[in-house]
Structure formats: structure tokens, C-alpha cells
Amino acid sequence: MGLIQLFKTDTELHGVAVTGDDLALQGMIARELKAECPSANLIHPSYYYPSLPADSTLMSNLKNLSSTQKAAGAKYRKLSQYVQVPLTKAVELLKKMLDESQQLKGQKEDIDKQLNAKQAPSGKKKADLEAQLKQTADRQTELQAQIRRQLNQDQYCTPQEIAGMKCPAPPVNGDELM
């Protein structure tokens, strides 16, 4: 039907490779052979699978393979549940902490600018800004310590990997965390 549609419209084919369908050719040959020799038993390997006795070694191997595949699938799901989900949550938490640390760094810079401006605040305003700066710096230090604990290579690398430089070292200063 699709071939007839080509002739209904002005369609041009340029540089299109046309290949024969091997499966169609095999089917046509099988049909012609069956027509010529009706008593012949033709078997097409893509469509016919011979019956095997239930106690054959091939069937027992296939059953073993199937049960092993099901067990591997169950272990994969369990692994995903116990490793992948917590790991994803840990990465999300780490991203949030890095974002918050970056925001705190910006807040500290803003407070420093206000404190060191030409018309620096005085009295209560200056004391409030200094307290806010200290609070922001303390929170940033706390966040960076949490991030370093999460990036602690001792938790996921062996001492041999660390000594052989095969495990990345955690960041040393706060700027490396951002």
C-alpha cells in the first residue's frame, strides 16, 4: 500500500539506498518450496522452535539461567534501594549545603562592604552588623565542616588508595568547596 502511495504523488528518490528484505525473501522461498513439495517439512528458524523434552539439559540450563536472572534482578532492586536512593539524597543535600555556603559567602562580603564603607555605621548599627557577620561566618564554618565530613575520603577509600593517590583528597580550604 505504501508503494502505491508513492505513485499518487510527485515523489523523487535521489541517493536513497534500497535493500532487499532477507526475511521476506526467505518467506517467499519457503512458500514456493512448500507449494512444489507439500509433503516436505519446512522449518524457518525465526518462527519455529523445536520442542524439547522437559528433562533435557538445555531446558534445565535455560531454567537455571532464568532463575539466576530473576535473582540478579532482585539483588539489583535491593542494591538500588539501599545504595542509589541514599546516595542521591546525599548528593542533593551536599548541593544544598554548597549553595547555602555560597550565599553565606555573599552575605559576608555585603556586610564587610557595609562595615568598611566611607560612611561606616556606628554605635548600635555597627554592633548589629558585626554580630550578623560573626553569625554568618560561624554558620559558614559549620557548613564547610559538614561538607568536609561528607567528602571524607577515609569513608570510601582504603588507606592504600589514599597513599597511592588513587582517591581524590577532600578540599582543604573553604574556597575549594565552592
User: What confidence tens digit (pLDDT) does each residue in 110-158 have?
Assistant: 888 888 887 877 888 888 888 888 999 898 888 888 877 776 655 556 6
Position 1 scores a pLDDT of: 39
The answer on pLDDT for 30 being more than 90 is no
Alpha helices in 54-120 (DSSP H): 57-79, 85-115
| Domain residue ranges of the chain, discontinuous segments joined by + | 21-53, 72-150
CA 64 to chain centre: 30
Quick count: other Cβ atoms within 10 Å of Cβ 136? 19
Say whether pLDDT at 67 is over 90: yes
The angle that helices 124-150 and 85-115 make with each other, rounded to 10 degrees, is 150
Nearest to 150, CA basis, from 84, 79, 89 = 89
Give yes or no for residue 63 having a pLDDT over 70. yes
Q: Which helix (H) or strand (E) holds 130?
A: helix 124-150
pLDDT at residue 177 in the model: 44
In this structure, what C-alpha cell is assigned to residue 142? 559549620
Cα separation of 170 and 154, whole Å?
Answer: 10
| Closest listed residue to residue 101, CA positions, set 159, 140, 130, 44 | 140
Render pLDDT for 164-177 as a digit per residue (tens, 0 to 9).
Answer: 666 555 555 545 44
CA 113 to CA 119: how far, in whole Å? 11
Given a cut of 50, whether residue 60 has pLDDT beyond it is yes
